[in-house]
């Protein structure tokens, strides 16, 4: 069961005008303050952009009329967060590389707008050298105190210190002056481009945090009132320091009030982050966050066992109904992955480095992201189909093997187009299927349970557990009783048993609040439980085998 943060808004328009005025004036002051910081950052960007969030807070903190420390700190943090993109752009732009080589790809055939042999793509390969690393460092960090700092301070980190010594060596060397001029002009150009325009803050909305003994939201004990709750914000410029505003809590929309309660810390204080929102239509609102469980469906007993694999299909139930991948997407994705592999290997070979540290080009990294989204979308579509199928069959409890361990079952040598299946499963992010099916299933009112994955492919209903039962991937054939079945369907059946059979369920699964999870068991123990159970069931079980 996953807990997610969800934000809910509460209407504060019942605030009387003095309270409203205080919050509005605060918001205005904080807005001015944010823009003031933003301007400062852009006039001395090299200084600020290399500093941490903590440094910013210490540096910019000051007294602001009507505001408390938390208001001010959160205003600074908001500006800091908004500059993250510029910070990244600065970092990227100051990193100098030189052109290593240029690959050209030519057209192989004549086309409408090109001829065979015309240039199709230029692919410029860049590399880092000692020199580019030094210029990068200097363009990034150059300021009036940098050289002094390098000469006087020592780092405990040996690599860092070696690098600093190298920088100094170059700076003090024959071409030192030229390097410095080069780095400085580069930095100036980049700063002008990125920080010419300060980010302008326009919204009055502000974030802050309370620390108080009570919860930020409390019940209104007066049941006659149309407002059933109060919001209390401490640390305000009023007589007792607290602003309390009545509000309406709708159980249907907001959930229970208790979901917003916080545990007290050691000082018996409760910390709550909140956002005050001003807008034209609703006036003023407060947004609070609570942990919300994805509504988990429980208590369903029409079990539907499903085998998940990557080889023949994606899903297969005990009747042998399959739902396959979108093979076009699957194949193209594999093609793309192989292309990435080739590129990375070539790069590694060229630089004589280990493959691990090599990164894809920006263009390829972007393509990879796009592919990952496409694959995930496909997994969602297929999971949806599975849930619909279960409903059509009158089933309400999908049982699957625990996908986080999937891939171990495949023999090490098994490959698809040069890809080890275990790796392919990781690249397809099959583990994410778990959350996807759970969420889609629950949305449709179906319970979803994951059981141990061990021995689902080798177990016979006669109690024989043996690797040799599955000599051929597609066919299950028991070496003891001779039972023959379509392997994936057979696995689906066995997976279902682990929930539908009372003995197996009680021995293999934990149940808490109606939610089943696999017990922590050794593989050996699981095997013993399975053998014992199937052995005694043999006579009845073998009669309804699936062909
Ligand atoms: Zn058997």
Closest to 244 in 3D by CA, of 29, 68, 12: 12
Ligand 1: distance of its center to the CA of 434 in Å?
Answer: 30
pLDDT attached to residue 33: 97
Find all residues with CB under 8 Å of 225, minimum gap 6, and list them. Answer: 246
Check if the beta carbon of residue 200 is closer than 8 Å to that of residue 266: no
539: CA distance to ligand 1 center in Å?
11
Q: Residue 512: helix, strand or coil by DSSP? A: strand
d(CA 475, ligand 1 centre) in Å? 13
Q: How far is the CA of 479 from the centre of ligand 1 (A)?
A: 7
CA of 459 to the centre of ligand 1 (A): 8
**Span from the CA of 323 to the centroid of ligand 1 (angstroms):** 27
Q: Helix 176-195 crosses helix 84-94 at what angle (to 10 degrees)? A: 150
Q: CA–CA distance from 198 to each of 165, 191, 212, 257, 528 (Å)?
A: 36, 12, 36, 41, 68
- Return d(Cα 4, Cα 164) in angstroms, integer: 44
Distance, in Å, from the CA atom of 364 to the CA atom of 351, rounded to the nearest integer, reads: 19
Q: How far apart are CA 161 and CA 139, in angstroms?
A: 18
User: What residues have CB less than 8 Å from 229, skipping those under 6 apart?
Assistant: 10, 217, 218, 219, 220, 246, 247, 248, 249, 257
**Residue 210: burial class (beta carbons within 10 Å; 0-12, 13-18, 19+):** buried
- The pLDDT score that the predictor gives to residue 542 is 44
Q: Rounded to the nearest whole angstrom, what is the distance from the C-alpha of residue 480 to the centroid of ligand 1?
A: 5
For ligand 1, the distance from its centroid to the CA atom of residue 410, given in whole angstroms, is 22
Residue 4: both structure tokens together: 């997610």
Conformation bin of residue 407: beta by default, left when phi > 0, alpha when psi is -120 to 50? left
For residue 478, report the distance from its CA to the centre of ligand 1, in Å: 5
Residue 408 tokens read as 């171990």
The separation between CA 134 and the C-alpha centre of its own chain, rounded to angstroms, equals 34
Burial of residue 434, with CB atoms counted within 10 A of its CB: 0-12 exposed, 13-18 middle, 19 or more buried:
middle
Question: How far does the centroid of ligand 1 lie from the alpha carbon of residue 545, in Å?
Answer: 11
Spacing, Cα 506 to ligand 1 middle (Å): 23
- Distance (angstroms) between ligand 1 centre and the Cα of 503 equals 19
Measured in Å, residue 491 CA sits from the centre of ligand 1 at: 14
User: What tens-digit pLDDT sequence spans the chain (547 residues)?
Assistant: 456 678 899 999 998 989 999 999 999 999 999 999 999 999 998 889 889 999 999 999 999 999 999 999 999 999 999 998 888 888 888 887 777 776 666 777 777 777 777 776 665 666 777 888 888 888 888 888 888 988 898 888 888 899 999 999 988 988 888 889 988 998 999 999 999 999 999 999 999 999 999 999 999 999 889 999 999 999 999 988 999 999 999 988 898 898 899 888 888 899 999 999 998 776 899 999 887 766 788 889 999 999 998 777 899 999 889 999 888 888 889 889 888 888 888 888 887 777 777 788 888 888 998 999 899 999 999 999 999 999 989 999 999 998 777 655 555 556 777 777 778 888 888 878 888 999 899 888 899 999 999 998 899 988 899 989 988 878 899 998 888 999 999 999 999 999 999 999 999 999 988 899 999 999 999 999 999 888 765 544 444 443 3
Q: CA separation (Å) from 249 to 6, 54, 213, 220, 487?
A: 15, 36, 21, 10, 54
What is the Å distance from ligand 1's center to 500 Cα?
20
Tokens of 469: 């039962």
Helix (H, G, I), strand (E, B) or coil at 270: strand
| Per-residue pLDDT at 1 | 46
Using the mean position of ligand 1's atoms as its centre, give its distance from the Cα of residue 405 in Å: 26
Ligand 1 center–CA 396 separation, angstroms: 29
- Cα separation, 364 vs 151, whole angstroms: 41
Cβ–Cβ under 8 Å, residues 402 and 307: no
Distance (angstroms) between ligand 1 centre and the Cα of 456 equals 13
Q: Global pTM?
A: 0.53
Residue 495 · residue 400 · CB < 8 Å: yes
Query: 303 Cβ partners below 8 Å, 6+ apart?
Result: 395, 397, 399, 496, 499, 500
538 Cα–ligand 1 center, Å: 9
> How far apart are the CA of 449 and the centre of ligand 1, in A?
26
Between CA 207 and CA 473 the distance in angstroms is: 58
CA 496 to ligand 1 centroid distance, Å: 18
Two structure tokens written together for 364 = 């390829």
> Which pLDDT belongs to residue 264?
87
Token pair of 451, please? 């059981």
């Amino acid at each position: 069961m996953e807990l997610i943060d969800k934000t809910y808004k509460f209407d504060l328009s019942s605030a009387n005008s003095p309270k409203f005025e205080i919050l509005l004036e605060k918001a205005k002051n904080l807005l001015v303050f944010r823009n003031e910081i933003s301007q400062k950052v852009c006039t001395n960007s090299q200084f600020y952009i290399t500093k941490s969030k903590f440094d910013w807070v210490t540096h910019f903190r000051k007294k602001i009329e009507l505001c408390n420390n938390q208001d001010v700190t959160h205003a600074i943090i908001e500006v800091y967060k908004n500059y993250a993109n510029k910070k990244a752009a600065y970092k990227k732009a100051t990193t100098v590389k030189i052109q290593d080589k240029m690959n050209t790809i030519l057209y192989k055939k004549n086309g409408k707008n090109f001829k065979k042999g015309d240039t199709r793509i230029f692919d410029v390969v860049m590399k880092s050298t000692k020199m580019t690393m030094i210029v990068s460092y200097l363009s990034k960090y150059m300021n009036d105190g940098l050289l002094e700092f390098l000469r006087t301070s020592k780092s405990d980190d040996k690599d860092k210190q070696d690098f600093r010594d190298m920088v100094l060596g170059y700076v003090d060397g024959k071409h030192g002056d030229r390097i410095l001029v080069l780095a400085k002009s580069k930095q100036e150009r980049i700063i002008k481009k990125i920080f010419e325009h300060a980010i302008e803050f326009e919204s009055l909305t502000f974030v802050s945090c309370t620390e108080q003994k009570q919860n930020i939201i409390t019940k209104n004990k007066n049941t006659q009132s149309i407002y059933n709750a109060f919001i209390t914000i401490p640390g305000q410029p009023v007589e007792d320091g607290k602003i309390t505003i009545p509000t309406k809590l709708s159980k249907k929309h907001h959930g229970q009030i208790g979901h917003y309660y916080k545990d007290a810390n050691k000082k018996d204080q409760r910390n709550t982050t909140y956002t005050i929102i001003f807008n034209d239509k609703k006036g003023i609102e407060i947004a609070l966050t609570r942990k919300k469980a994805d509504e988990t469906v429980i208590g369903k007993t029409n079990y539907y066992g499903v085998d998940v694999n990557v080889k023949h299909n994606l899903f297969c139930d005990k009747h042998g109904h399959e739902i396959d991948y979108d093979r076009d997407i699957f194949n193209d994705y594999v093609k793309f992955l192989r292309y990435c592999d080739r590129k990375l290997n070539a790069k590694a070979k060229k630089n004589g480095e280990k493959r691990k540290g090599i990164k894809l080009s920006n263009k390829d990294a972007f393509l990879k992201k796009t592919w990952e989204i496409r694959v995930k979308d496909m997994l969602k579509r297929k999971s949806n189909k599975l849930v619909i199928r279960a409903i059509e069959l009158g089933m309400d409890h999908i049982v699957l093997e625990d996908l986080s361990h999937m891939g171990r079952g495949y023999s090490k040598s098994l490959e698809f187009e040069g890809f080890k299946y275990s790796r392919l499963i990781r690249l397809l992010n099959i583990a994410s299927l778990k959350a996807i099916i759970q969420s889609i299933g629950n949305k449709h009112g179906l319970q979803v349970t994951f059981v141990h994955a061990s021995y689902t492919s080798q177990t016979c209903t006669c109690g024989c557990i043996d690797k040799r039962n599955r000599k051929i991937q597609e066919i299950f054939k028991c070496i003891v009783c001779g039972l023959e079945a379509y392997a994936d369907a057979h696995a689906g059946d066995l997976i279902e048993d682990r929930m539908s059979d009372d003995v197996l369920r009680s021995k293999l699964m934990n149940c808490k609040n109606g939610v089943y999870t696999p017990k922590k068991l050794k593989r050996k123990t699981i095997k013993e439980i399975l053998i014992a159970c199937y052995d005694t069931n043999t006579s009845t079980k073998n009669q309804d085998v699936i062909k």
